[in-house]
Amino acid sequence: MNEHDFPQNQNPSLDGARNPLALSRRQLLQLLGAGSLAALGSACTQTSDAALKKPAGSKSTGKSPVAKPSAGAAGAAGLRGTNNRVLVVLELQGGHDGFSMLVPYADDRFRKLRDRVWTDPKDLHVLDDRYALSKGLEPVAKRLSFIEGVGVGKPNLSHFDMLQRWWQGDPEGNAGLLTGFLGRCCDASAGGEPVTAVSLGGGSTPSLISTKATTVALPALDAVRDISKNEEEQRRLKKAMQTLAGARTDAEKLGSGKDTEQLMAMARRGLTGSLDLAAMVGRIGEPPKSYPDNDIAQTLALTRQLISLEAGIKIFHIPWGSFDTHTNEVGTHADHMNRLGAGLEAFAKDLEASGLSDRVLLASTSEFGRRAEANQSGTDHGTASTMLMMGPIKTGRHGQPVNFKALDNEGNVKATTMMTDYYATLASWIGVRPEDVLPKNSHAISTLSI
Amino acid sequence: MAQETAHALVSHVIRRLTFSPTKELVERFAKGAASPQAAAKSAIEWALSAPPRPLTPETLPEDGWDPSLRGWLGNMSSPEAGLHEKMTWFWHSHFANSSEKVGNQNLLHAQQGLFRKHALGNFGKLLREISTDPAMLLYLDGSGSNVSAPNENYAREVMELFTLGRGSFSEDDVKSGALALAGWNVDYETGKVTFDASAALGGEVLFLGRRGRLSVDDVVATLLAHPNCAPYVASKIYAYIAGAPPTKERAAELGKVFRSANYEIAPLLADIVNSPEFLSLRLNRPRYPIEWFVAAYGALGTPREDAKDGGDMQPWNLQQLDQLPYKPPNVAGWPPGPKWLSPSQQLTRLAYAWGNSWWIRPIEGSDLVATVLQRCALHEVSEATRSALHDAALATAGSADALSVSRRLLTAALCSPEFSLA
């Protein structure tokens, strides 16, 4: 695949520029207008260096690299009936073993491969004569949808390579994209709200890099709440910060000249954004008591509170967990599923009580699954994996099961559902046309009845 | 480039080569220097040769997390600490291990000691020792890896992140590396590392072009002999110290310097900081939260005598700032880049500066802004920031008490774009 398979107006390629600081002033300000500092940050990391590389032989399109997204049917108004929908993306960090979540326990070949990390079906929540769920998900077993075998055609086993492909929505990692898939969804669906997407709990994320919409990471709330104890003081401090943030960009050259000037502009935008963020944080109350006291449950509680602000946030990104289960897989995975199941149960009930359940879809991602065959007590990096969804869609299993008898050269399963089709499903949910944000021929999974 | 005064250049050197750019340190080298360049040179010489700080505390009490963290931050804050301290941190972010998985703080504290020992020493020796370091064996699952079903985690990351970079190896190299590295075990309680020959490689493997019954020593030697190793590691050090990745040509040059010094780290750093471009590559990367935090703590200064519970560094704020020592986000460590200027980062910094300034002594003097800027070691400041600080001081001078004005000024200076950059 090459970048021309992507909708060009969504693809802010940097013609020949490997260093984001070499962006033109106009490009930079537009990117900053997006509040997408996180995005620029990621472009500077070693691990996502390739994000800035244009594929060999690709030519400049001559179009503005930060042109506005099309104002087509998927513009601000969204597709009919989708404009108040919310997408919650749960990123299971480290490469999640979907086979330990939705266990094909009756598959003899799988049984053999996983002998060293086997959980007896009596300790699982058995769904039918072929599949069982990790026990922790039992409380929400009837609410969940699963997509089997989600992955890419030519996988790689590096965390950082695959993270980049998933973050960018670029199945082969060679399209030279600077935006994230979720960031492009924000651009295509933004309708004037101050913040279109929020990342919770993990700092900024490259998946939310956008060119137009504002996407932010929300810091820990208690640190911020401390600022506002004395109202008069706060007013004065805010005024000082506003003056600092709002200063015209500096005419004289400091430090390294242009690079410094651009970083200073970013810092001032960051300050402006921080004041907006503080205002938003000020409107959030104490967390609801109905959620268990674990990390993912509390993050889901905050998500529901933010949805209830009705501030127009369309996408929540929640990076969570440490699923890189090279060792001690059985215990680590079960512990995560226990927390997740309890959190999802509280979330689902809270959404019902708040009249929000028809508007919210939660969907998992992960850079890859785990190796079909276990090592001593865990599993090494793999490829395709089972994704989890919860929302007003058709529950149960979707897609095609993977074939444990037809592994690739590295001993990994082959994907049966493409990442891009899975992503097309998520885009459709919030009223974004897949062709506006993904490579051609990406189609939503029809059996989910979204 | 304006403002290349002795103070500006010395401040740059001290910011880059230490964690604690205090007013006193800047004055020490800038005052009375023959030229700005001569001042910078003397600051560089001092930072390169400042003696290593010892691992603090020497041994950890039962619940050692907090003492270990505070000991490290104390070393960073020390006005005696030079480049050695800065590189100790670099290696922690390069060979990033998280307490979340390792669990045993004694092992991570000892690992900090290892980084301290080799901070300006030899990369080859460090690589060999870290490869069987107990915390690393636990973090990247080398412990318990058996040749019959070897664990690939360390074999992959040692090539991808620690030595060669992506695209320098194949999946077969990962598998072979994992076989060659099997057989090591860690006793979780004591941290004792043992080698079990029966779980280790018996036959031959082909690893990065070298065939044989390879041991961990052979794996390390093969990595060091790989042409991508020296340029990859040297470039990462360069980006940290000089603020931007080297050009391709410079990366190759740095690789040669590193390789011909037999992977000695000090000569590589001397080459970087004594090169002509180092003094002009100023304010060209954001300060990492840890750099911002230690510098901000220094600028806030000692507490008022009457504030008995004040003056604490509150190291847990580093968690909110996304850079708590011993808790890197993943094995790639903390990424560089403008993400550290994001709204959420700025808001957390604002909260820290304001929340930890209530105990300062009111700032005195005829020019409050100049005093605050000196205190923050800011000697290269835009007119925009300067006038914003003047406004903040003037607008409320009559109506508010001196402490409030001082707090507001300091908070604004610590959140200024200039203080946010390294």
pLDDT band with cut points at 50, 70 and 90 for residue A247:
confident
Please calculate the CA angle A382-A157-B225 and round it to the nearest 5 degrees. 140
pLDDT of residue A178: 78
End-to-end Cα separation, chain A, in angstroms = 28
- Please check whether residue A110 is in contact with residue A99, taking contact to mean a CB–CB distance below 8 angstroms: yes
pLDDT of residue B315: 83
Average pLDDT score over chain B = 92
Rounded to whole angstroms, how far apart are CA atoms A165 and A152? 9
pLDDT of residue A237: 79
Of the given ranges (A48-57, A390-399, A437-446, B127-136), which has the lowest mean pLDDT?
Answer: A48-57
* Six-digit token string for B368: 């409050």
Smallest CA–CA distance, residue A397 to chain B, in Å, is 31
Smallest CA–CA distance, residue B54 to chain A, in Å, is 31
Rounded to whole angstroms, how far apart are CA atoms A421 and A444? 5
Residue A46: closest CA among chain B residues belongs to which residue? B335
pLDDT of residue A87: 98
* Six-digit token string for B382: 């835009």
Of the given ranges (A165-169, B17-21, B63-67, B186-190), which has the lowest mean pLDDT?
Answer: B63-67
Q: Say how many C-beta atoms besides its own lie within 10 A of residue A29's C-beta.
A: 16
- Please check whether residue A177 is in contact with residue A170, taking contact to mean a CB–CB distance below 8 angstroms: yes
Residue B137 has pLDDT above 80, yes or no: yes
Q: Does B40 touch chain A (CB under 8 A)?
A: no
* Six-digit token string for B129: 């020792």
pLDDT of residue B399: 53
Radius of gyration of chain B (CA): 23
pLDDT over 70, % of chain B: 95
Pairs of residues, one from chain A and one from chain B, whose beta carbons lie less than 8 Å apart: 265
Mean pLDDT, range A198-202, rounded to an integer: 80
Cis link prior to B67 (omega < 30° from 0)?
no
- Please check whether residue B339 is in contact with residue B382, taking contact to mean a CB–CB distance below 8 angstroms: no
Residue A37 has pLDDT above 70, yes or no: no
- Sole residue written with tokens 């990595």: B223
Q: Where are the alpha helices (DSSP H) in B141-284?
A: 153-157, 171-180, 216-225, 229-242, 248-260, 265-274
Query: Coil, strand or helix: which one is B372?
Result: helix
Interchain proximity A255–B320, CB inside 8 Å:
no
Greater model confidence, A173 or B260 = B260
Structure confidence by residue, pLDDT tens digits, B286-306: 999 999 999 999 998 766 555
Structure confidence by residue, pLDDT tens digits, A426-440: 999 999 999 999 999
pLDDT of residue B63: 77
pLDDT of residue A223: 55
Structure confidence by residue, pLDDT tens digits, B153-199: 999 999 999 999 999 999 999 999 999 999 999 998 899 999 999 99
The alpha carbon of A158 is separated from its chain's Cα centroid by a whole number of angstroms, namely: 18
Interchain proximity B385–A247, CB inside 8 Å:
yes
pLDDT band with cut points at 50, 70 and 90 for residue B90:
very high
Amino acid at A50: A
Between β-strands A360-365 and A385-390, what pairing exists: parallel, antiparallel or unpaired? antiparallel
Mean pLDDT, range B62-69, rounded to an integer: 86
pLDDT of residue A219: 67
pLDDT over 70, % of chain A: 77
Residue A71 has pLDDT above 60, yes or no: no
Structure confidence by residue, pLDDT tens digits, B311-335: 567 787 888 888 999 999 889 999 9
Average pLDDT score over chain A = 80
Residue B31 has pLDDT above 90, yes or no: yes
Smallest CA–CA distance, residue B173 to chain A, in Å, is 12
pLDDT of residue A21: 26
Amino acid at B198: S
Between β-strands A86-92 and A360-365, what pairing exists: parallel, antiparallel or unpaired? parallel
Q: Say how many C-beta atoms besides its own lie within 10 A of residue B49's C-beta.
A: 12
Mean pLDDT, range A111-139, rounded to an integer: 97
Residue A33 has pLDDT above 70, yes or no: no
Amino acid at A278: A
Of the given ranges (A308-312, A446-450, B69-73, B395-399), which has the lowest mean pLDDT?
Answer: B395-399
- Of A317, A48, A36, nearest in space to A164 by CA: A48
Identity of the highest mean pLDDT range in A46-50, B185-189, B414-418: B414-418
Find chain A residues with C-beta within 8 A of B284's C-beta: 21, 255-256, 259-260, 263
Query: Coil, strand or helix: which one is B46?
Result: helix
Rounded to whole angstroms, how far apart are CA atoms A236 and A238? 5
End-to-end Cα separation, chain B, in angstroms = 17
* Six-digit token string for A251: 């005419």
Q: Does B248 touch chain A (CB under 8 A)?
A: no
Interchain proximity A217–B282, CB inside 8 Å:
no
Interchain proximity A46–B341, CB inside 8 Å:
no
Find chain A residues with C-beta within 8 A of B174's C-beta: 157
Beta bridge partners of A385: A150
Structure confidence by residue, pLDDT tens digits, B352-378: 898 888 888 888 888 999 999 999 999
Residue B336: closest CA among chain A residues belongs to which residue? A45
Residue A43 has pLDDT above 50, yes or no: no
Using CB atoms, pick whichever of B244, B319, B338 lies closest to residue A266: B338
Interchain proximity A46–B174, CB inside 8 Å:
no
Find chain A residues with C-beta within 8 A of B317's C-beta: 223
- Sole residue written with tokens 């244009």: A54
Put simply, the chain B residues between 147 and 186 with a CB less than 8 A from any chain A CB are: 149-153, 156, 160, 165-166, 171, 174
Interchain proximity B388–A273, CB inside 8 Å:
no
pLDDT of residue A265: 87
- Give the list of residues 6+ apart from residue B244 with CB closer than 8 angstroms, or none: A19, A21, A259, B281, B284, B285
Q: Does B322 touch chain A (CB under 8 A)?
A: yes
pLDDT band with cut points at 50, 70 and 90 for residue A211:
confident
Mean pLDDT, range B272-286, rounded to an integer: 96
pLDDT band with cut points at 50, 70 and 90 for residue A224:
low
Mean pLDDT, range A11-16, rounded to an integer: 26
pLDDT of residue A203: 65
| Optimal mutation site among B170, B238, B282, B342, interface A, most CBs of chain A within 10 A | B342
pLDDT band with cut points at 50, 70 and 90 for residue A160:
confident
Residue A397 has pLDDT above 60, yes or no: yes
pLDDT of residue A176: 81
Rounded to whole angstroms, how far apart are CA atoms B383 and B391? 12
| ipTM of the complex in this document | 0.92
Find chain B residues with C-beta within 8 A of A382's C-beta: none
Strand order, beta sheet including A125-126: A102-103, A132-133, A125-126
- Give the list of residues 6+ apart from residue A344 with CB closer than 8 angstroms, or none: A137, A139, A140, A143, A144, A300, A362, A390
Residue A30 has pLDDT above 80, yes or no: no
Rounded to whole angstroms, how far apart are CA atoms A447 and B280? 60
Smallest CA–CA distance, residue A23 to chain B, in Å, is 13
Greater model confidence, A145 or A258 = A145
Of the given ranges (A162-166, A261-265, A352-356), which has the lowest mean pLDDT?
Answer: A261-265
Structure confidence by residue, pLDDT tens digits, A73-89: 333 333 446 779 999 99
Amino acid at B156: R
- Please check whether residue B50 is in contact with residue B81, taking contact to mean a CB–CB distance below 8 angstroms: yes
Rounded to whole angstroms, how far apart are CA atoms B284 and A257? 9
The alpha carbon of A316 is separated from its chain's Cα centroid by a whole number of angstroms, namely: 8
